[in-house]
Chains A and B, each alone.
Chain A
Amino acid sequence: MPDTGLDTDLENAEQVVIGNGIGARVRRKEDKRFLTGKGRYADDINRPGQTHAYFVRSQVAHADIKNLDTSAAEKAEGVIAVLTGADVAADELGGLPCGWGIMGKNDVPMHEPPHPILAIGTVRHVGDPIAVVIAETKKQAKAAAQLIDVTLEEKPAVANIRAALADGAPLVHDGAPGNVAFDWEIGDRAAMEEAFANAAHVAEIDIDNNRLIPNAIEPRVAVAEFDTGTGDYTLFVTSQNPHVHRLLIAAFVLHIPEEKFRVVAPDVGGGFGSKIFPYPEESVVTWAAAKLGRPVKWTAERSESFMTDAHGRDHVSHAELALDKDGKFLALKVSTLANLGGYVSAFGGAVPTFLYAPLLAGTYTTPAIYCEVKGVFTHTVPVDAYRGAGRPEATYLLERLVDRAARETGLSQVDIRRKNFIQPDAFPYQTPVASCYDSGDYEATLSSALKKADVDGFEKRKADAALRGKKRGLGFSTYLEACGVAPSAVAGQLGARAGLYESAVVRVHPTGGVTVFTGTHSHGQSHETTFAQLVNDRLGVGLEHIEVVHGDTARIQFGMGTYGSRSLAVGGEALIRAMDKVIEKGKKIAAHLMEASENDIEFEGGSFKVTGTDKETPFGAVAFAAYVPHNYPLETLEPGLEETAFFDPLNFTFPGGCHICEVEVDPATGVTEVVNFTAVDDVGRVINPMIVEGQVHGGVTQGIGQALLEGCVYDDNGQLLTGSYMDYTMPRADNVPSYNVGTELTLCAHNTLGVKGVGEVGAIGSPPAVINAIVDALSDLGVTDVSMPATSQNVWRAIQAAGGAK
């Protein structure tokens, strides 16, 4: 294949775009280093004179630290220091901050207990760090940790939401009576109640959203050093947002000058949310590196990842949907309990509130919605954003409830959705739960998916399966999500303590090459390619002459990082605006070079042209002139060609689409196989279809993982039972099918590119499609519900509860 970067795959022929700009299937610029073992991940970094940290962690869920004797460990071979909560207190370090405050009912703010970086007095989950041993080698640190004498007075623990809310339950924090961190509501309760009073039918569901462990394949790492001469700190860390890490650690935890603190997030091996938040270990090694005057490295073992990376989901909900006699939705009422874990993590309060309830209208015109959410402390690791963050929980609840309503009213899954869709001419569409959607065409994604999934041929496939003794089912999810995080003003009103804009610098070099400095961070998302395509498209510079730099606070202005599918919708737009400034300045330079009026210059096809003449100057010549300014009109024009833009969006973006899952269940064993999965998503304009499809494949697999395989289990005492890959079932290649994915596009109305975001759609849309398919397959056995994860055991139990396989 010639190296055109174009796809020659015929099934995608309609999407072939000539060139390397917007819409082209360009193969990735970042691949070469990853394919040859030359990626540079944080654990690949070693600093001269480096020492190694090992953390001593609580092995129980709840205890008071009665005695902590580190003297034997301090004397062990190779040990340099042992630090504990007493040292943290003595140095007056701060706790880990929370990035988002929640105002509950009656203006009662969320309870935000301190979260020390090494436990002070009390431990609140298995894995809570008690002490750190720093030694010449990791082996020595680990061996010395065994010599620490710690006496824990174990106390009763609450390991799940129901236990935490029981009468007389032990308290996780004294300041949170009943273990409730906040009790929050959204929507018009009276309007909802009135609509329910007039309903012809009410569908109800009790629904749990299973707790997940993120499991990026690269474990968390932190390597810190301190220059005793200059007082400069450097931290190499597995982060999705190095500037946010720098700001929070410097200002809130260590109280060190931000300008003396460099945070580098080099190649990062997946994040999925879990690498957004500041964790204790990163602050501890930075603090220790300065105290000891030597670099300190910590790499999580996988078992530490299981017990310390912020977990995801974990909701218990009850919901009711009121319908009129024709199946139109009149009102929705939702009551949700959300597990926060032992402390409030950075976005722990926002995920089950503002990233959840504003999605409850989904793609439907439901006029009245009311939702209340209680955030609940438990003796488990903190819960925070995991791919989708709040939106998968909302989607799962709503799409399961719509599925049930269709079954109860006798409408088809397609008809009930079509009856209730927001129509394409209704945008902008104000929902009753704060979100205002800008664009979408839900009928288009639905009908495209129906075709792609060959829904017409389903009955025949079902009959064939029956001959083999299998139950075949079809499940739908016509979902919507909100991303492009976030309009700062809106986020601020909702309790965010920072703006969520993004920045870009475009530096044009004298030879015409371009470096883009972006405040977003790529840990699998392929920004080096996608952003280069934007530059190629706008400035006409060849991809090989475009460098995209991210992940280093010393090189990049400021940035909020990557999460909430924001990089292109917010960061990409900042890049477009910086390029527009470059073009504006280039026009001035070109006007000077061609002795024309600036107003007569247009930029087209990589060249500055004088309108109505054949005079032109290529972009590269303008770049050169910018840096070699002979005869330059210095009074009106500065040398150089480099521009900065910050972009703050006016609204969230609202990708949506239709996922259709087809399963086969063995009714004798409950073994369930996803035999077909179709996803047609509207993610706005597609820059690189190959990359977009890859994001959907990965997201859908995480969604199927949640639906069928994954589930974090704590026992009643708060012991983590799923603490390794032997116990926590990750989706593997033989658990999932090949996918059938496509896009239908409407453009986002409030960014130039018209992009909406694709990082999370797969994980948001897919779980209800899978479970609805299982319910469909087993409906003639009387099964109406199967809980996630739908392991063979859970499915088999559901069949037995309904009276067994017939």
Chain B
Amino acid sequence: MTEVTMTVNGKSVTADVEPDTLLADFIRQNLSLTGTHVGCDTSQCGACCVLVDGDSMKSCTMLAVQADGAEITTIEGLATNGTFHPMQQAFHDNHALQCGFCTPGMLISAIDLATKNPDISESEIRHGLEGNLCRCTGYHNIVKAVKAGADAMRG
């Protein structure tokens, strides 16, 4: 067992974990934050994306111990005081989710893209989301939403 400490959605957490515990499992099982999803075993689907020190990372591909000292934001940490993050609002307004399973990872990746490239184009969005699979929406409304969310984030 190894002790890890990290800040998750603004709260400091400390826990003993097996050294081979994946960050995704730590978040889902130890912290009971089940909004982060696991959709594959080859780092391909992106359902598990969380922000690690501001970067979208696949939490299935990181060990919990690698996140020691990091600042993590999961989907549960996006809204503030019951108000949607602009990207959440844009996903809602543009019907960018159907079953909702890919949504946590999509939102995290979208926020990462829009933060780093505030005036992002459609083709940059499409390439930027290449690591996130959605089987339901056909991406059309997700792309629209990311553009709208990026615009809203710029204010």
Contact = CB atoms under 8 A, between A and B. Distances in A.
Given A270-B135, A694-B141, A730-B133, A34 B40 contact: no
Interface in A1-30: 1, 27-28, 30
Given A34-B103, A37-B75, A270 B42 contact: no
Contacts of B79: 36
Contacts of B133: 217, 725, 730, 732
A303 interface: yes
Contacts of A523: 99
Nearest to B20: A139
Contact of B37 (A31, A218, A690): A218
B99 A218 contact: yes
Contacts of A762: 138
Interface stretch (B51-59, B62-70, B120-128): B120-128
Interface string B119-155: 0001101110110111111111111100000000000
Contact of A217 (B39, B78, B91): B39
A302 B140 contact: no
Interface in A124-156: none
Contacts of B47: 217
B98 A694 contact: yes
Interface SS, B side:
loop
Taking residues whose C-beta sits less than 8 angstroms from the other chain, chain B's interface range is 35 or more
Contacts of A40: 34
Interface string A665-704: 0000000000000000000000000110110011111100
B126 A733 contact: yes
Interface SS, A side:
loop
Contacts of A43: 34, 37-38
Given A44-B34, A733-B142, A698 B130 contact: no
A440 interface: no
Contacts of A725: 40, 42, 44-45, 133
A296 B76 CA distance: 28
A733 B143 contact: yes
Contacts of A34: 97, 100, 103
Given A28-B95, A701-B139, A724-B41, A733 B130 contact: yes
Nearest to A695: B98
Interface string B12-46: 00000000000000001000011111111110110
Interface string A290-326: 0000000000011100000000000000000000000
A525 interface: yes
Contacts of B8: none
Interface residues of A, number: 56
Given A36-B78, A215-B135, A269-B100, A732 B122 contact: no
A736 interface: yes
Nearest to B29: A46
A739 B138 CA distance: 9
A523 B99 CA distance: 5
A217 B39 CA distance: 6
Nearest to A36: B79
A272 interface: yes
B95 A217 contact: no
B80 to A, nearest CB: 11
28 contacts: A34-B100, A34-B103, A36-B79, A36-B88, A37-B33, A37-B75, A39-B101, A43-B34, A43-B37, A216-B135, A217-B99, A269-B39, A270-B101, A697-B138, A697-B141, A698-B136, A698-B138, A701-B140, A724-B41, A724-B44, A730-B135, A733-B125, A733-B130, A733-B132, A736-B138, A736-B140, A738-B140, A739-B138
Top 9 A-B residue pairs of the complex, sorted by shortest distance between their CB atoms: A37-B35, A269-B101, A34-B100, A701-B138, A524-B99, A725-B44, A697-B138, A524-B98, A37-B75
Given A217-B135, A738-B122, 14 more contacts: A27-B95, A35-B100, A39-B100, A217-B37, A217-B45, A217-B101, A218-B99, A267-B99, A269-B99, A725-B42, A725-B133, A731-B139, A732-B132, A733-B132
